[in-house]
A = this chain, B = another copy of it.
Amino acid sequence: MNEEQNIFHKYLEKHDLRDTPQRELILQIFLRREGHISAEQLYDIVKKRDPSIGQATVYRVLKLLIEAGLAREIDFGDGVIRYEHKYNHPHHDHLVCRGCGKTLEVVDSVIEELQKRVAESYGFELTDHEMYLYGYCENCRQKRQ
């Protein structure tokens, strides 16, 4: 059993929640997928392995994963919330191509530090932030010429 599974089980135990096959299956599938996944995409995969699972349960488990610290929400502003791994996957921002939709994870420690300073200069204590950089990737730029 890996560390994420351990965290999940401990979270369940601590909160008097039950260990069900649905939760196990959805957790497995989420953990095997890298990158961003929407609730619907996850549900589609889950259905293939167990068609009896309802999508409400997928939404419910995703909420649990967030509370347990295993997942994190991302909102690209297209009306769909996506989820990504949080465990051993430190904070980062996203670079999104307006042409093909490709996304890259980026971090710049100088920007991170400056954000903190900007917030403090207004009396704020920064807890977190979101930064989305939009543009055109190399491929899409050539196509647009």
Identical copies in the complex: 2
Contact yes or no, B136 A124, CB < 8 A = yes
Q: Which residues of B contact A133 (CB under 8 A)?
A: 115, 118-119, 124, 126, 129
Within the complex, which residue of B124, B128, B132 is in contact with A130, where a contact is CB–CB below 8 Å? B132
**Category for how many chain A residues contact B:** 20 to 34
Q: Which residues of B contact A95 (CB under 8 A)?
A: 118-119, 122, 124
Q: Which residues of B contact A141 (CB under 8 A)?
A: 125
Q: Does residue A111 face the partner (Cβ distance < 8 Å to B)?
A: yes
A sample of 30 cross-chain residue pairs with beta-carbon separation below 8 angstroms, ordered by A number, consists of A77-B130, A95-B124, A97-B124, A98-B127, A108-B114, A108-B118, A110-B114, A111-B111, A111-B115, A111-B118, A114-B114, A115-B131, A119-B133, A119-B135, A124-B135, A124-B136, A124-B137, A125-B135, A125-B136, A125-B141, A126-B133, A127-B135, A127-B136, A128-B134, A128-B135, A129-B132, A129-B133, A129-B134, A130-B131, A130-B134
